[in-house]
Amino acid sequence: MSRLAVPKTYKLYIGGAFPRSESGRTYEVLAADGGFLANAAKASRKDARDAIVAARGSVAGWTGATAYNRGQVLYRIAELLEGRRAQFIAEIEEAEGVTRAAASAQVDEAIDRWVWYAGWADKFAQVTGNANPVAGPYFNISVPEPTGVVAVIVPQDSSLLGFVSAVAPALVAGNAVVAVASERFPLSAISLAEVLATSDVPKGVVNVLTGSPAEIAPWLASHSDVNALDLVGAGDLDWVSLEIDAADTLKRVLRPESGADAAAPALGRIAAFTETKTIWHTKSLR
């Protein structure tokens, strides 16, 4: 007797748990050839709000961790991604209809980018901070601090690499993230959430919503408890309206990017979601 396969149910990832959408809605995720792959949860406004609450609750702990510790935690994610490499390759092959070699290259690049960002965790402050020259017997030091909760619309034309490229830099600086996965290719984002759930990342630091970015993004842009908005993957949306909504609550906004270099690794992507604190301290007169 042949056994029945156990189909996977792809849910949201909020606060370290995997809930279904509160609305109960799902949508079909199709393979490149039009065949059925899975049902994915279709996030609602309430799900977005729950994700923001979870992210806000995690900020103090993640920000308070040492930069070295954050680097260790992020590197552990790369280790787990390496261990599940075959699963991600198979998912990308099916979803995007690319060759195994192309899928392997995407997974390898995603892992390499995660390692690259993890390495910056205890170094970027030295590069982006500064000891400022002042006229007087004072030390004047500028240091970067995380901005808080960052909402991210990830690149929509990539299963895994776009997600990693957009989410990792915000985490390096100590921010918590609410990420809207690719609507067409959401499965690898949820598989990555499973990696996060079994790593050392505190619950709530990363939250993953699947569904329609056009539906979810306005609620993220206008929510007063979101501190910054990365619209890297929002090029097909009315991103100008999103930017206007974000301005009402003084959010920092990164505009959409397109092409093969969208969300390419850069120190500027880490620094984009930091605020600069300047400290004055008297020098000893002895």
Domain ranges of the chain: 10-282
What is the predicted pLDDT for the residue at 285?
62
pLDDT recorded at residue 284:
74
Token couple for 3? 């056994």
Are 232 and 154 within 8 A, CB to CB? yes
Residue 41: closest CA among 26, 23, 19, 22: 26
Looking at residue 9, what is its pLDDT?
83
Q: Which pLDDT score is estimated for 205?
A: 98
Which of 48, 44, 65, 46 lies closest to 56, judged by CA?
A: 48
Q: Looking at residue 98, what is its pLDDT?
A: 96
- pLDDT of 97 reads 95
Instruction: Note the pTM of the prediction, 2 decimals.
Output: 0.93
Show the tokens assigned to 156: 């929509």
d(CA 97, CA 176): 32
Spacing of C-alpha 142 from chain mean position: 26
Specify the DSSP class assigned to residue 156. T
Angle, alpha carbons 55-77-103 (nearest 5°): 110
pLDDT, position 286: 62
Cα 95 vs. chain centroid, distance in angstroms? Answer: 21
3-state SS, residue 89? helix
Residue stretches of the chain with pLDDT short of 70:
1, 285-286
Distance of alpha carbon 105 from alpha carbon 99, whole angstroms: 10
> What's the Cα-to-Cα distance from 252 to each of 55, 68, 72, 221, 261, rounded to whole Å?
17, 26, 28, 10, 22
- Continuous segment of H or E residues that includes residue 161: helix 161-172
Distance from C-alpha of 1 to C-alpha of 110, rounded to nearest angstrom: 40
Residue with tokens 């915000």: 170
Residue that the structure tokens 């004072």 belong to: 138
pLDDT score recorded for residue 41: 97
pLDDT of residue 202: 97
**Span 10-282 CATH architecture:** 3-Layer(aba) Sandwich (3.40)
| Per-residue confidence (pLDDT) for residue 216, from 0 to 100 | 97
